[in-house]
Amino acid sequence: MIGTDTLQQSLQRARHDRRVSQHELSLRLGVSQRHVSFVERGRARPSRALLVAWLDALEAPLVLRNEVMLSAGFAPEFSAAPLSDPAMTHANDALTRLLEAHEPMPAFVLDADWTIVAINRGAQWLAATVAPNALAAQAGSPHNMLALLAHPDGLLRGMVNLREVAPTMLAHLRHDAALRPALHARVSAVEAEYRRRVGTAASPVVTSRPASPMVTVRYATPHGDVAFFSMFTTFGTPRDITLASLRVEHLFPADDATRAILTAQVR
C-alpha cells in the first residue's frame, strides 16, 4: 500500500464530516469513484493538485489541510503565525476595533480551543460579576471559555434559564469537539457540570418549539438579570491557520433592562 494511515484517515474524516459520498466527491473532482476509493485506501498516491482540489471540494479546515499535505509528503499549504507576529498587525487592529465598537456590550475573541484571546470591558464585567471564582481559578494562565462553563462556580451557575439554553449550547459544543477531538475532555466536563446542576435524569434534548428564533441566555447579577443573544464574526477567506481559528462572539442585549444595566455598570 502507498501512503500512511494518517493520510487515509484524514481524507476519509474530511469526507465523512461533510457527509459526502465517494461518488459525489468523484463528480466534484472530475475523477472516477474507483480512484477516490484507491486514494482513501492507500492504493494510489494522490498528487498535490488532487489533494488541494479534494480538500477545497470538502471545505476542509486549514489545520486539516496542512495535516494532509504533511502526511502525503508535501509542504504545508498555510502558515500559522502567532498573533504577536508583525504580519498580524492589521488583524490585531481589526480585532481591537471590533471589541471597542461593541462596548459596553460583552465581546470575546476565542481561538479553536475556546481560549479567550482578547476581551472588551463589557465582557470583563460580565465574567467578573457572574463567575468571579472561576476567573480566579484560572489566574496566571489564559482564560478558557469551556473551563469557565465547567467550573462549579462558573458561568452555568449564573444562568437563570440553564435548562432552556443547555440543549442548544451542548449540541454546538459537541459539534466543535467532533471536528476538534482535543476539545472532548472539556466539553464532557461542561456537560457533567450541567447534569450536576439539573440532576442526572436531565436529558439535553429539545422537546418543544422554542418561543424565540434565537437562543437567549439570562444571567443573574446583583444589579438584576441580564439577557443576551450572540453572533459570531470570523475573518473572511483567511490564509493563515491562526486567523482561521479565531472568532469574535458578540453578546447583544435581549431587552432594555440589560442595555441599561450594562450602560450604567461598564465604565
Q: Using 50, 70 and 90 to split pLDDT, how confident is the model at 222?
A: very high
Place of cell 443573544: 229
- Band (pLDDT 50/70/90 cuts) for residue 161 is very high
Q: Are residues 66 and 93 in the same domain?
A: no
Residues 100 and 133 in one domain: yes
Q: Bridge partners of 183?
A: none
Q: Determine, yes or no, domain membership for 79.
A: no
Cβ pair 197, 189 in contact under 8 A: no
Residue 64 cell numbers, joined: 486539516
Would you say residue 80 lies in a domain? no
Q: What nine digits make up the cell of 214? A: 434565537
Q: Is residue 201 part of a domain?
A: yes
Same domain flag for 179 and 93? yes
Q: How many domains does the chain have?
A: 2
Question: What percentage of residues in the chain have a pLDDT greater than 90?
Answer: 77
Q: Say yes or no to pLDDT of 204 above 80.
A: no
Q: Are residues 126 and 53 in the same domain?
A: no
Q: What is the pLDDT of residue 237?
A: 84
**How far apart are the C-alpha atoms of 239 and 250, rounded to whole Å?**
23
Helix or strand or coil: residue 152?
A: coil
Of the residues 71, 96, 125, the one at which a domain ends = 71
What's the number of CA atoms in the CB half-sphere (13 Å) around residue 235? 20
Q: Are residues 104 and 67 in the same domain?
A: no
45 and 92 inside one domain: no
- Whether 140 has a pLDDT exceeding 60, the answer reads yes
**pLDDT value at residue 210:** 45
Output the pLDDT for position 209: 45
Domain limit, last residue, from 13, 39, 71? 71
Q: What is the pLDDT of residue 267?
A: 79
Residues 45 and 111 in one domain: no
Name which of 210, 255, 206, 209 is nearest 228 in CA terms: 255
Burial code of 58-85, b = ≥16 C-beta within 10 A, e = fewer?
bebbbbbbbbbbebbeeeebbeeeebee
Alpha carbons 119 and 124: distance in angstroms, whole number:
7
**CATH no. for residue 53?**
1.10.260.40
Q: Which domain holds residue 172?
A: 86-265
Global confidence as pTM: 0.80
pLDDT value of residue 178: 81
257 class by beta-carbon count within 10 Å (0-12 exposed, 13-18 middle, 19+ buried): middle
How high is the pLDDT of residue 175?
A: 87
pLDDT at residue 212 in the model = 55
Residues 63, 93 within the same domain: no
Give me the mean pLDDT over the 50-66 stretch: 92
Give residue 176's pLDDT band: very low, low, confident or very high (50, 70, 90). Answer: confident
**What's the mean pLDDT when you consider all of the chain?**
90
- When pLDDT is cut at 50, 70 and 90, the band that residue 207 belongs to is very low
Q: Are residues 159 and 187 in the same domain?
A: yes
The beta-carbon contacts of 82-88 under 8 Å, at least 24 apart in sequence, are 82/242, 83/117, 83/242, 88/242, 88/243
Q: Tell me the pLDDT band of 214, cut-offs 50, 70 and 90.
A: confident
User: Is the domain of 24 the same as that of 148?
Assistant: no
- What is the pLDDT averaged over residues 133-159? 93
Angle ∠(222,225,227) on CA atoms, nearest 5: 140
pLDDT at 205: 45
Mean pLDDT of 44-67: 92
Does 227 share its domain with 255?
yes
pLDDT tens for each residue of 230-255: 999 999 888 899 999 999 999 999 99
- Give the pairing of strands 247-253 and 226-233: antiparallel
Rounded Cα–Cα distance for residues 246 and 254 (Å): 25
In a domain, 115, yes or no: yes
E strands in 82-193: 107-110, 116-119
**Does position 208 have pLDDT exceeding 50, yes or no?**
no
Decide if pLDDT at 202 tops 70: no
109 and 219 in a single domain? The answer is yes
pLDDT band at residue 5 under the 50/70/90 scheme:
low
Is residue 201 predicted with pLDDT exceeding 50?
no
CATH number at residue 180: 3.30.450
